[in-house]
Amino acid sequence: MIDPKDLHIVNYCHPSCTPLQNILWLPRDEAFQLAHQLAQANAGATAFWRFADFENYYPRRMETDRLLHQAFIRLGGKPEVEHPLSFVLQGSDYLHGWFDHGTITTLPLSSIPDKVFSFTLGDSMSAPRPDGTIHVFTKEMLLQKVAAYQGTLDEFMQEIANTCHYIEVQVWRKLSTE
């Protein structure tokens, strides 16, 4: 059985960026300007393909965040921001490489109040269904899924990696690097 105390969340940040920030927290014009600057300065970096096509990415990200926000509230969540910080459960070698092995912020899952974080299986941008809904989990729902798993935490995470790369964690509050 997996002990919930062993769970942590990880945020990856490209070396050209400031950890624990979300570009959508900026006014629209500033977000577009920053996305353009970052895309130009990091043309070969996988993490910035979405900023190179910000005209398409921005509305998709806004809509995904809106769906996540609504689903989380329906489940009893109490988001403090409209756009979450993205973490992953237990980390992801895939994302560490995607963000060019930049800054890693790791927090115990227990350090974040239950009512300000949610989960999706895999990348939330891939999570909306054709009917426009999105399947969001609360901490309690995720812990039930983890507790029902017959195996080790490493086996559970390997199964997740094989099916959807990672479990995304949406933290619905601003955090500090201090």
What is the token pair recorded at 42?
């990091």
Residue 101's domain comprises: 4-171
Instruction: Choose among 77, 67, 73: nearest CA to 132.
Output: 67
Phi, psi for residue 175 in degrees, rounded to 5: -120, 160
Give the model's confidence band at 44: pLDDT under 50 very low, under 70 low, under 90 confident, else very high: confident
Q: Note whether residue 47 is domain-resident.
A: yes
69 inside domain: yes
Residue 105 in domain: yes
Let me know if residue 178 belongs to a domain: no
Residue 55 lies in a domain: yes
- Whole-model pTM: value is 0.91
- One-letter amino acid of 96: H
Domain membership flag for residue 176: no
Sign, CA torsion 45/48/50/52: negative
Report pLDDT digits (tens) over 141-176: 988 888 888 888 889 889 988 988 899 999 999 998
Q: How far is the C-alpha of 50 from the C-alpha of 53, rounded, in Å? A: 5
Angle at 88 between CA 84 and CA 117, to 5 degrees: 40
**pLDDT at residue 27 above 80?**
yes
Q: Angle, to 10 degrees, between the axis of helix 54-74 and the axis of helix 28-41?
A: 120
Q: How many CA atoms lie within 13 A of 14 on its CB side?
A: 17
Which helix (DSSP H) or strand (DSSP E) does residue 59 occupy? helix 54-74
In sequence order, the 6+-apart residues with CB closer than 8 A to the CB of 156 are: 2, 146, 149
Does residue 177 lie in a domain region? Answer: no
- Asked if residue 128 has pLDDT above 70, the reply is no
Structural domains in the chain (count): 1
Is the residue at 156 inside a domain?
yes
Question: pLDDT of 60-91, one tens digit each?
Answer: 999 999 999 999 999 999 999 999 999 999 99
